[in-house]
Structure 1
Amino acid sequence: MRNNALSYTALTLAIIGAVNWGLVGFFNFNLVSFIFGSMTWITRIVYALVGICGLYLLTFYGRSEAETEK
């Protein structure tokens, strides 16, 4: 992991998104909408950041595979 701060931030936001989806799936409770309101601009920013972090974390597959080949 070359950029630890970016990686840990992305991982933290992805975990927050995963917990939120778990709450939606199990209890029909959206924590992000509860905290920031239903589809306000800040809620959309949180969702966008979680999505971007998820896409960034896809690169871990390539990096972990390259590290095991060394």
Structure 2
Amino acid sequence: MTFADEQDGERRRKSASSPDSQGAHETKPRKKRANTPEVGHALRAAYQQTINEDIPPDLLDLLGKLG
């Protein structure tokens, strides 16, 4: 038993030697990233500041009403 989808899929597949598929997988060489630990340190500091911030009282009130 075969499904219509299976038959359609077989007809739609292109062979590896078709002109449309040549060069489709070629990619540009990636640029190497510079080693910048400052960015990581800055992100960690911003995250830590966010964690250390107090929760506004009105938001605590809203959360209390939900619970």
Question: TM-score by structure 1 length?
Answer: 0.30
- Structure with greater contact order relative to length (CA < 8 Å, sep ≥ 6): 1
Question: TM-score by structure 2 length?
Answer: 0.31
Higher-Rg structure is 2
